[in-house]
Amino acid sequence: MGHGKYRIITLFLAAPLTLYGVFVLSPFAQAFYISLTSWTGFTAAQPFVGLANYRKLASDPGFWTALEHNALLLVAVPLVTIALGLFFASTLNVGASAGTVKGVRGAGPYQKLFFLPHILPAVITAVLWQFLYNPQLGPINSALDAVGLGSLKATWLGDPAVALWSLAAIMVWTGVGFYVVLFSAAMQSIPKDIYEAADLDGSSRAQAMWRITLPLLRETVQVAWIYLGIAALDAFALFEVLLPDGGPDNSTNVVAQYLYQAAFQNGEFGYASAIGVVLCLLTLLMAAATFGLSRRETIEF
């Protein structure tokens, strides 16, 4: 009986595992093989060079500069996005006024409004913010002038000191709405009795957020951090549309852009594949580190 059960399970898993192997694992294996060659992408020949591309990568200052930019995004974008997502989700769901566990009136439309930037295509988002950041005609500099803060005006995408952070701000603006909805759904699953008991004990809204909401949302925040980390390590489309050459003084070039430049501008597909393999490994390490550092016993309620 048990033997027949395993045969049925194997039969049902055969097709999806085959598809997974062909369309997921096989491209990974091909990318790794290409990274061991000096293939130019335009010839049939793929001369094998072993680990030469990886040795070149280890001493390539352009790659390390791009990786440094990704590392800055990996810290800033998840932190700010998750903090804003938790703040807005908490306001919409648990704490419009003292002594209640209800969100603000009309929370549904607010969630849709927050979510809107997330559904915009990357190219449309880039064009929109290119106008907003325009130093002469853009409304950001005009608004700073209007409120007497003209000294804060900048050429947002043309100044090496602020260009990367200007792009990071767009990533936060694009992503925060999704996490407001995600955290809102998680908060709505927390029993209101817990907040009412905390309110009776005299807990402030900030204490309830720190001692109740965050511990119960730990796994959701963990998943959010991994998704945002992947976005920060990728960060290609938005950057390529707004600053395709790596920004002023190469101040915004990220690893995905560097990969694209190596492949399609320099014709070094083998070297670009090596960059892609390293980027994939870094993403896996980031996810594993996030799970490992935040591993705790699951809180049930």
Which tens digit of pLDDT belongs to each residue from 2-38?
Answer: 566 778 888 888 888 899 999 989 999 999 999 999 9
Per-residue pLDDT tens digits for 99-136: 445 555 656 677 778 888 888 898 999 999 999 999 98
Q: How confident is the model at residue 98 (pLDDT cuts 50, 70, 90)?
A: very low
Classify residue 143: in a domain, yes or no: yes
3-state secondary structure 27-80: HHHHHHHHCCECCCCCCCCCCECCCHHHHHHHCCHHHHHHHHHHHHHHHHHHHH
Instruction: Give the least confident one: 81-85, 87-91, 120-124, 207-211.
Output: 207-211
* SS3 assignment, position 122: helix
Residue 5, classified by CB atoms within 10 Å of its CB into exposed (0-12), middle (13-18) or buried (19+), is exposed
Number of domains in the chain: 1
Least confident of 23-27, 111-115, 215-219, 226-230: 111-115
Residue 273 pLDDT level (bands cut at 50, 70, 90): very high
What pLDDT score does 205 carry? 74
Cα–Cα distance between 113 and 129 in angstroms, integer? Answer: 18
HSE at residue 190, side-chain half, CA atoms within 13 A, is: 26
Query: What CATH number did the domain enclosing 160 receive?
Result: 1.10.3720.10
Residue-wise burial string across 115-138, b where 16 or more C-beta atoms lie within 10 A, e elsewhere: eebbeeebeebbeebbebbbeeeb
Choice among 79-93, 190-204, 233-247 with the minimum mean pLDDT:
190-204
Domain containing residue 270: 59-293
152-206 confidence digits (pLDDT tens):
899 999 999 999 999 999 999 999 999 998 998 888 888 878 877 877 777 777 7
38 within some domain:
no
CA–CA separation, 195 and 208 (whole Å)? 7
Query: Is residue 218 in some structural domain?
Result: yes
Is 243 part of any domain?
yes
Could you tell me what percent of the chain has a pLDDT over 90? 54
**Which single residue is written with the structure tokens 């059960």?**
5
Length of the chain measured in residues? 301
- Averaged pLDDT for residues 227-250: 91
51 touches 277 (CB < 8 A) = no
Q: Is the pLDDT of residue 212 over 60?
A: yes
- Cβ burial, residue 281 (10 Å; 0-12/13-18/19+): exposed
The rounded mean pLDDT for the chain is 87
Judge whether 201 lies within some domain. Answer: yes
Put simply, whether the predicted model's pTM sits higher than 0.85 gets the answer yes
Write the DSSP assignment of 268-300 as a string of letters: -HHHHHHHHHHHHHHHHHHHHHHHHHT--PPP-
* pLDDT of 296 above 70: no
User: Does residue 10 lie in a domain region?
Assistant: no
Neighbours of 13 (CB within 10 A): 11
